[in-house]
Chains A and B, each alone.
Chain A
Amino acid sequence: MFSFNPQTLKKLRRFRQIKRGYYSFLFLSVLLLVLAFGELLVNSRALLVSYEGELFFPTYTAFHPGTDFGLDYSYETNYRELKAHFAAQGGNNWVIMPLVPYNAYENNAQGGMFKPVPPSLDNQHYLGTDTTSRDILARLFYGTRIALVFALVFTAWVYLIGISVGCAMGYFGGVFDLFFQRVIEIWSNIPFLYMVIIVFSVIPSSLAIPSRIGILLFIMVLFSWTGMTYNMRTETYKEKSRDYIAAARILGASDTRIVFRHILPNVLATLVTFMPFVVVSAISAITALDFLGFGLPPPTPSLGELLKQGTANLRTAPWIVSAAFTTLVVLLTVVTFIGEAVRESFDPKKFTVYR
């Protein structure tokens, strides 16, 4: 049976006491949950279609051509039009649309022109549309999802590599340590953003968009793992020289056992406190790359791309930049609050001047 040790329980209690961080954490968890099932909330596909007595749930299935619902085209059904169509027919057929009936890609021209339209309840563009008449809420929603997932996976990989290399450096020391220190010094001096831009520009675009996002992730991890290693290395050095490690060694514990059973659990507390800040930097980095036009391949929805559009249309379409900016600020603030709370609750000195 898995149970937390009292130390950890104390930390968790402490975390719950820090209201700002705790509520931020709850907010982010709910947000992640909502985002995970986003297709049910923000989508151009209907939640439920009743046609000729038969029920359809198009959200997660293969596409339904218009012919499935008695329309005359073979491409994907436009469910908003279908809803109006059924309503006009007045039969027993009906459609239930999600809260926001748009996806992040479709150009839904209001008034026949592709141009930014201000937020409006009537046409259900709650945050307006962007320069090519795509729904901003939908783009923000899926952009945030991609950014968050991206940031979390990024953090996981950076930690995995950072901890492995750092721990090995600290534990084995000697030539191994010396060699990796130099490697890391060189590696971390390469300007991160430029390298990502340069390397990513030679990635062939014939690959599908998810794999290109994967490659971008890989490149970013490749140039970001170094930061973690030094913390890990010093921590491991410190723990390694403690008596309990010496005791474990005398008892005949293997290197693997010492590292995984003794050193890692004692070191992780420090590392956890960094985690939210790595997430913040990952979100900022991907947004910055998108803003510069070197990030996620178009037309992937992204915060940076919206910010870019927004700054380009500051005068004529202020709703673009305000929506994107607010989202980014809220997101980064929430994660930072969590980070602060985690750091404080993991701090052994409860009463310090650094409050």
Chain B
Amino acid sequence: MSKARPERPWLRLLAASVTTLALAACGGDDAGTTESAAVTEALDNSAEVQAYYAANPDFFIFKSIADLPADLTWESGAELPEMGSPEARKGGTEYRALQDFPRTLRTIGPDSNGGFRPLLLDDVEMRIGFRHQDAFDFIPGLASEWARGEDGKTFYIRLDPRGRWSDGEPVTTDDFLFMFWFHRSPYITAPWYNNYYSTMYTNITRYDDLTFSVTTAAAKPDADSKVLELTPKPQHFYSEVGEDFVDRYQWRVAPTTGAYTVREQDIKKGRSIALTRVKDWWANDKKHFRYRFNADRIHFTVIRDTEKIFEAFRRGDLDQSGLNLAEYWYDKLPDDAADVQAGYIHKSVFYNQRPRPNMGLWMNTARPLLDNLDVRLGIQYATNFQLVIDKFFRGDYNRLQSAQDGFGEFSASGIRSREYDVDKALAHFARAGFTERGADGILVNADGQRLAFTVSTGYQTMKDVLTILKEEAARAGLEFRVEVLDGTAGWKKVQEKQHDIHFAGFGVFLEMYPRFWEHFHSDNAYDDAFLDDGSINPERKIKTQTNNLETFAVFEVDALIERYRASADTEEMIAIANQIGNILHDHASYVPGFYQPFYRVGSWRWIRYPEFFNHKHSRSSGQLFVHWVDEEMKQETLDAMKDGKTFEPQIRYYDQWKE
């Protein structure tokens, strides 16, 4: 159709501008708009920071080294074994892929919590100390030693005098004071951090440039981790933090205490980014670190499609690829694949031990029907996760028993998830009034109400799992309406408590004990859930934006959780955790799904791992950077591929930590 009609110019202009508006509204703010040229004016917040310290004299305490308690028992964790392998060689370039270019290089604030942040902060940046990934005890990072105070909640830290930021500045106590100001500042627009750094800690005391203490709010058994896992913030770099922090620091690379940093010239927006090993890294020779962070460069290419990433790996453009899904391990890169049999690609399975993400179905008990215990029990028996594990994951995964698995004694109450049993499910549904099957086999009650629930998820990859569950549930007269959303939409849905049943798992940190408050305290379910006498407040309103996905509110559990949170006694906490575990099991509002007791990876021959492959608590093969790139072997392999020479195939099982 022709658009070359005579028309009044102003009309066209109007049409054009309205369209632009509509497009802008759809597109959202992307990286382009935040790079405004206006943020050049220099700022200096040091006066503001000093004023903040002065205004909070109870939190920021300044003493002299003479005031340091004399009778402290200093620990250093130096006796714990090395991590990584002495055989590791430094050098070489590793090639990896990213599915999405990082939306920002900030490690805090809007859009910062993406897939690239662990490579800037969590897995790379040095903390005061780290949990040894075999022993669970702490090894020194930025600290040379530390001591627990008499009150059980104050920790005294002596910094390693060698500690340096990647720009050469020394790491001092002031960076830790500043860390508190930074994380409590409204400028960073990160409410979670604001809250955490305001409530978890009660003070930081400066003794000298390299000595300070931090006090946590409660003398919990793992209070040491709350202090030792802190990462300082470089005050000299963040001196321009102010109202426009989010924009100003969008693409600035912060100096790091860790082994890798991003160089300005390696940022190719939307296409690639690279980590480069810090020249003369201060911890090069430090025990526990000297055999890790081996590659000189880690180059990331943006490839959006998972399949393409895998194909790039098969071509040798990428060095490694996760093979966690059964279809990759068995079908797409089977043991008899030519490259595997020729020994060019190695396959490795490593069984790890750590708290497991609690993948499962979270029922929103505030919804009609789901508030009925019998309906929930029926759903438990009608959900055939075992079939998914046996047939879809080919028996590789294990069934979760509760939402708090993998915490040792804290999750040892002996509760077992309920098996798939159509008869038991039907019996429970019948008790809830669903006795008749409709024309399509779905149960209906006397009012003609169908036994149907929406099961939503934010994981596109889990679509098949849900369709299998749906087919199985239909046998028990239960209908699951599957809704597969993209990650953000799925998360938004549960945060607004708009879901019936949601399939998700919360990533769990390597911690000593499970958290209950977030998921099961009534504070996170309703505003004023109960009246003072423990009866239900008739005017309570559902609270959104919390992780209590079940809208779980039980008065006695509240009391238990509060005791658990206040307790400093490990034995008591174990008892309460198991007691809560039993109550949750009886409440039946969470259907435990599955977990993966291992990780699997395919790697080209020149990517080498220690003899033991990796450490007990590692989350993935790359997390601890114990592998290295052998450039000579790479050349040898590439030549061999040209000449048709083959090597011994390597399919390795590391089950030393298998449970």
Which A positions have Cβ atoms within 8 angstroms of B? 62-63, 65, 73-76, 105-107, 109, 112-116, 131-133, 181-182, 185-186, 189-191, 194-195, 198, 201, 204-206, 208-209, 227, 230-231, 293, 297-299, 311-317
Residues on A with C-beta less than 8 A from B489 are: 201
For the complex, give the distance between the alpha carbons of A107 and B464 in Å. 10
**Complex CA–CA separation, A62 to B439 (angstroms):** 4
The verdict on B446 contacting chain A, using a C-beta distance below 8 Å, is: no
Check if B352 is an interface residue, CB within 8 A of chain A: no
Output the nearest chain A residue to B472 by Cβ-Cβ distance.
A107
A160 to B281, alpha carbons, bound, how many Å? 71
Contact A75 B422 (CB under 8 A): yes
Which residues does chain A contribute within 8 Å of B483, judged by CB atoms? 205, 297
Contact string against A for B residues 462-477, beta-carbon threshold 8 Å, 1 for contact and 0 otherwise: 0110111011001111
Select which of A115, A195, A209, A299 is within 8 A of B331 by beta carbon. A115
B475 touches A105 (CB 8 A): no
Partner of B441 from the list A63, A115, A185, A298 (CB cut-off 8 Å) is: A63
Closest chain-A Cβ to B32's Cβ sits at a distance in Å of: 17
Q: Contact at A198–B454, with CB atoms within 8 Å?
A: no
Interface of chain B: mostly helix, strand, loop or mixed: helix
Does B440 reach chain A (CB closer than 8 Å)?
yes
A-binding segment of B11-19, B169-177, B224-232, B411-419: B11-19
Whether B26 and A299, one on each chain, are in contact in the complex, defined by CB atoms closer than 8 angstroms, is no
The one of A65, A107, A182, A297 in contact with B468, judged by C-beta atoms closer than 8 angstroms, is A107
Q: Which of A186, A298, A315 contacts B18 (CB 8 A)?
A: A186
Bound together, the chains give a CA A115 to CA B328 distance in angstroms of 11
Task: Say yes or no: A132 contacts B394, CB within 8 Å.
Answer: no
- Chain A contact residues: helix, strand, loop or mixed: loop
Contact call A190/B19, Cβ cutoff below 8 A: yes
Nearest residue (CB) in A for B392 is A114
Select one of B19, B307, B470 contacting A312, CB under 8 A: B307
B319 at the interface (CB under 8 A from A): no
- A75 in contact with B332 (CB, 8 Å): no
Assess the A75–B475 pair: CB atoms within 8 A: yes
B500 at the interface (CB under 8 A from A): yes
Instruction: Report chain A residues within 8 Å CB of B287.
Output: none
Quote the shortest CB–CB distance from A309 to chain B (angstroms): 9
Residues from chain A with a CB closer than 8 A to the CB of B468 are 107, 114, 132
Taking CB atoms, residues of chain A closer than 8 Å to B19 are 186, 189-190
Interface membership of B482, Cβ < 8 A: yes
Neighbouring A residues of B454 by C-beta, 8 Å:
205-206
Q: Which residue of B lies closest to A76 (CB)?
A: B441
**Docked CA distance A227–B468 (Å):** 41
B166 at the interface (CB under 8 A from A): no
Alpha-carbon distance between A94 and B327 when the two chains are bound, in angstroms = 39
B-side contacts of A311, CB under 8 Å: 307
Q: Mark B135-169, 1 if CB is under 8 A from A, else 0.
A: 00000000000000000000000000000000000
Q: Are A74 and B437 in contact (CB under 8 A)?
A: yes
Question: Which residues of B have CB within 8 Å of A182?
Answer: 11, 14-15
CB distance from B478 to the nearest CB of A (A): 10
Q: Interface readout for B18-39 with A: 1 if CB under 8 Å, 0 if not?
A: 1100110010000000000000
Fill in one digit per residue for B321-349: 1 if any A CB lies within 8 Å of its CB, else 0: 00000110011100000000000000000
The answer on a CB contact under 8 Å between A114 and B464 is yes
Q: Identify the closest chain A residue to B481 (Cβ).
A: A205
Find out whether the CB atom of A132 lies under 8 angstroms from the CB atom of B307.
no
**In whole Å, how far is B143's beta carbon from the nearest beta carbon of chain A?**
47
Q: Write 15 A-B pairs (CB below 8 A) sorted by A numbering.
A: A62-B438, A74-B422, A105-B467, A106-B471, A107-B471, A113-B391, A132-B467, A182-B11, A182-B15, A189-B22, A191-B26, A201-B489, A206-B454, A208-B481, A297-B482
Q: Which residues of chain A are near B390, meaning CB under 8 Å? A: 112
